[in-house]
Every structure is written in structure tokens, then in C-alpha cells.
Amino acid sequence: WEDICEDAITVRGDSEGQESWIIGGGAYHAGDKVVQHNGCGTVNIINFYAEDYGKLLRSCG
């Protein structure tokens, strides 16, 4: 992703113990955050490149 406004991706987990994966990719120029995690579970991020960003991940809980 390039020139991100609010966030590049929002992950919603509805179940405790649920896992979400972001494998590979990248993000550039995110004034705020790259990934927003809303809900239960775990977000796993591997082999991901980020440049010029506020936060890589923000979780609501």
C-alpha cells in the first residue's frame, strides 16, 4: 500500500483464540497506522515492510 490515509487494513476477530495472518507485503507513507485490529484474537505479521508510518499496529483491546 502507498500513501495510506487512516489505515491500510482493518482486522476484525469475532472469536477468542482466532488468529489472523498478514504475510508479506508492505506499506509506505502512513500518517497514522498501518493495521487496525478490532475484536478478539491475535494478529500475526511476518515478512512485512513498513516505511514512514505512525504505528504499525493499533488494537482496540
Query: Is the pTM higher than 0.85?
Result: no
For residue 3 the three cell numbers come to: 500513501
State residue 60's pLDDT score. 83
9-48 core/surface letters (b: 16 or more CB in 10 A; e: else): bebebeeeeeebebeeeebeebeebbbbbebebebebeee
Name the more confident of 8 and 14: 8
Q: What is the residue extent of each domain of the chain?
A: 2-59
How confident is the model over 44-60, as pLDDT tens digits?
Answer: 999 999 999 999 999 98
Beta bridge mates, 58: 36
14 pLDDT more than 70? yes
For residue 29 the three cell numbers come to: 507513507
As a dihedral over the C-alpha atoms of residue 33, residue 42, residue 18, residue 23, rounded to 10 degrees, the angle is: 70
